[in-house]
Amino acid sequence: MEKIGAIAALAALAQETRLDIFRLLIQAGPEGLPAGQIGERLVLPAATLSFHLNQLKQSGLITCRRDGRSLIYAAAYGTMNDLLGFLTENCCQGDPAACGIRAFAG
């Protein structure tokens, strides 16, 4: 992951509602959740939810697919792992295991 991508991802996650949405989608797994369920679970109005989902999508942290009339959102695990790898790649002089950090494959 490049520095610019890491900054965009971290900026997207630096907002409480977006962090909550992302964590919910991580818990949901690769099948994701319909937008309506995300809004219900987090008690978010549709316009607010749409804004935050768009921000996360633009950062590359989530994906969206259409299933009939529903939009299904899912965490982009590859991007998440790339971000974690970027943040830890130089940890402990290039040996993240030395300080107990698992290596993340992008």
Give the mean pLDDT of 29-37.
97
The amino acid occupying position 18 is R
Residues with Cβ < 8 Å from 95, sequence gap 6 or more? none
Give the mean pLDDT of 28-33.
97
For residue 32, the enclosing domain spans 3-99
Domain count of the fold of the chain:
1
62-67 and 33-34 strand pairing: unpaired
In the numeric block, the tokens 């965490």 are attached to 75
pLDDT for 92 beyond 90: no
Give percent of the chain above pLDDT 70: 93
The domain that holds 83 is classified in CATH as 1.10.10.10
For the whole model, what pTM was predicted?
0.89
Rounded to whole angstroms, the Cα distance separating 106 from 80 reads 8
More confident residue, 96 or 2: 2
Residue 104 in any domain: the answer is: no
Residue 56 in any domain: the answer is: yes
Residue 89 in any domain: the answer is: yes
More confident residue, 54 or 1: 54
